[in-house]
Amino acid sequence: MASPKDVDLMTYEAILFDLDGVLTATARVHSACWKQMFDEFLRQHAQESGTPFVPFDRGADYLNYVDGKPRMEGVKSFLASRGIHLPFGAPEDPPDRRTVCGLGNRKNELFRQLLMVEGADVFEGSVVLARRLRQAGKKMAVVSSSKNCMAILEVAGITDLFDYFMDGNEAQRLHLAGKPQPDTFLKAAQMLGAAPRQTVVVEDAISGVQAGRAGNFGLVIGVDRHGAPQDLVDNGADVVVADLAEFL
C-alpha cells in the first residue's frame, strides 16, 4: 500500500469525491435514520411473526449492508441479511408502505427532517484539499448514491468546488448501476473529459473502493472513518488515510 507522501495528486487530470464520509460528516445522521426506520419495521415484523426483535446495528449492519449503496439497494441488502423478503414496490410508494421502496422513502423522510435541523458538517481537511485542487485547475466531481446530494452540498456551502454532480437522481435518469459497480464513476470521468487512468477516486465505503478498482481508475484513495483501514485496502484502495489533509 502506498503512503500519501508517495502520491502526487497534481499528476492526475480529475478527482471524483464521494460525499457522505468523505466531504461531509453526515454518515452519523444517515446511520441514525437507518436505525430508526429499520427498528420500527423490525419491531413490527417480530410481533407479527412471533420472532425475537433484533435491532439494527449502527456499526456492523450499516457498514456491511447500506453504507455507500443506493438507498433501495441498501434496504434490500439488509433485509436479505435477516432473511426477510418484501415486494420491491414503486419509487413513489408512501413511507408507511411495507415495500422496499416504502422503507427507503421512510428513511429518506427521516433524513431530510434531521438535515434541516442539524445541518451538514464538513470534514475540513477534505474541503481544504478540494479548494487547493480547484485552484490548481483540476476537474472535480461528486459521485454519490444519495438523492439528497445537492441538498447536502448546498447546506454545507461547497457546491462551487465541483464541475459535475453524479447523484442518485442522475444515476437513475441515466439508468446507471450504483456502487459497487463502477458505472457512476466512469460516467463522471467521461463528463469531465478525463480518462479513468488519469482520474482519482476518493471513497470511505467498501462498496466505493470496490467500484473504483472495478473501473480501473488511476488511483483509489480510501478514507478510513471507521477504524478499519485494511478493509479498504483489501477491497481496492491503493492508499488509505484517516483524513485527506494528509495530502496537503
CATH number of the domain enclosing 161: 3.40.50.1000
How far, in Å, CA of 93 to CA of 226, rounded? 33
pTM for the predicted model, two decimal places: 0.79
For 90, half-sphere exposure in the C-beta direction (CA atoms, 13 angstrom radius) is 3
Give the CA diameter of the chain: 61
What pLDDT score was predicted for residue 69?
86
Considering the domain architecture, whether residues 167 and 177 belong to the same structural domain is answered as yes
Domain final residue pick, 75, 97, 118: 118
Q: Are 66 and 52 in contact (CB under 8 A)?
A: no
Q: Which residue numbers are catalytic?
A: 18, 20
Residue range(s) defining the domain that contains residue 140: 4-26+120-247
How far, in Å, CA of 48 to CA of 114, rounded? 29
Considering the domain architecture, whether residues 114 and 160 belong to the same structural domain is answered as no
What pLDDT score was predicted for residue 246?
95
What pLDDT score was predicted for residue 12?
98
How far, in Å, CA of 207 to CA of 232, rounded? 9
pLDDT in tens, the chain (248 residues): 778 888 999 999 999 999 989 999 887 788 889 999 999 999 999 999 999 999 999 989 998 999 878 899 999 999 999 999 999 999 999 999 999 999 999 999 999 898 888 888 899 999 999 999 999 999 999 999 988 899 999 989 999 999 999 999 999 999 999 999 999 999 999 999 999 999 999 999 999 999 999 999 999 999 999 899 999 999 999 999 999 999 99
Domain count, the chain: 2
Domain final residue pick, 118, 137, 159: 118
Burial (0-12, 13-18, 19+ Cβ within 10 Å), 116: exposed
Considering the domain architecture, whether residues 182 and 60 belong to the same structural domain is answered as no
Q: Which residues of 131-163 are buried (b: 16+ CB within 10 A; e: fewer)?
A: eebbeeebbbbbbbbbbbbbbbbebbebeebbe
Q: Are 101 and 72 in contact (CB under 8 A)?
A: yes
Considering the domain architecture, whether residues 109 and 172 belong to the same structural domain is answered as no
Burial (0-12, 13-18, 19+ Cβ within 10 Å), 114: middle
Considering the domain architecture, whether residues 72 and 164 belong to the same structural domain is answered as no
3-state secondary structure of 142: strand
Considering the domain architecture, whether residues 180 and 63 belong to the same structural domain is answered as no
Angle subtended by helix axes 206-214 and 183-192, to nearest 10: 60
What pLDDT score was predicted for residue 63?
87
DSSP string, 13-67: SEEEE-SBTTTB--HHHHHHHHHHHHHHHHHHHHHHHT----PPPTTHHIIIIIT
Considering the domain architecture, whether residues 86 and 124 belong to the same structural domain is answered as no
Considering the domain architecture, whether residues 105 and 16 belong to the same structural domain is answered as no
What pLDDT score was predicted for residue 5?
84
What pLDDT score was predicted for residue 220?
98
3-state secondary structure of 144: coil
